[in-house]
Structure formats: C-alpha cells, structure tokens
Amino acid sequence: QVQLQQWGAGLLKPSETLSLTCAVSGGSFNGYHWTWIRQPPGKGLEWIGEIHLSGGTNYNPSLKSRVTISVVTSKNQFSLNLTSVTAADTAVYYCARGRVATHWGQGTLVTVSS
C-alpha cells in the first residue's frame, strides 16, 4: 500500500531554513497533488501548500514568501523548504498525498529555538 516516509532536521535556530523531504512508496507518484501540512503543539492543522507534476505549486498566502515545495520525480520524493524560520514555525510537519489527504507521513517535529 501507499506509504509516505518523511525526514529532516528537527532543531533549528531562528533565521535558518527548514528542509523536509517525503518519499513515496507503494503507489503511483504521477497524477496526484502532494501536500505539506503543519500543526503547532497543542493546536490545529494548517495547510502549507501543494505541488502537482503538471500543475505547478500552490501556497498558503501567509507563508508564500518563505515557502518552496519541489519534487524529484526520479526518486518519488517531494520536499519542503521554509526560509527565515521563527519560533512561530515550531510544529509537527506532515506530508500527504492528494487534495484530499488520503495518505499521510508520520510527521516530523521541528523546533525553532535559539
């Protein structure tokens, strides 16, 4: 079955760049939107953005100036970069498949602290 495995640095200092990667296995990589979502500790879900191999990218307007989502098709992977992080970016970050997020990664806690 479809599995999403994600990884990346878990501790960052303010002003650094958050980088996470999500690898997809067990299913087709083509034909889907690939999405990043985050959840601050004890709070709700926030949609970050999505990428589609044929349709480009869409981002949350509140993060758009700092976010880049990219894809490496040959590896069935997609990535999230978030620049100039602050404590407000501390959250569990999830990767997911589809505009309807039917499959999710395990989540990565990213803490921003000096």
Footprint of another protein (CB under 8 A) = 35, 37, 44-47, 50, 58-61, 94, 99-102, 104-107
Report the residue number, 15 or 25, with the smaller CB distance to another protein. Answer: 25
Minimum distance between the CB of residue 7 and another protein, rounded to whole angstroms?
A: 15
| C-beta of 16 vs 107, nearer to another protein | 107
Tokens of residue 5, six digits: 């495995």
Q: Which two tokens stand for residue 113?
A: 């602290």
Provide the greatest CA pair distance for the chain.
41
By beta-carbon proximity to another protein, the closer residue of 29 and 59 is: 59
CA-CA distance, 28 to 7, in Å (whole number)? 20
DSSP strands (E only) in the chain: 3-8, 11-12, 18-25, 33-39, 46-52, 56-59, 67-72, 77-82, 91-97, 103-104, 108-112
Smallest gap, in angstroms, from Cβ of residue 55 to another protein? 13
Smallest distance from another protein to CB 50, Å? 7
- Shortest Å, Cβ 25 to another protein: 16
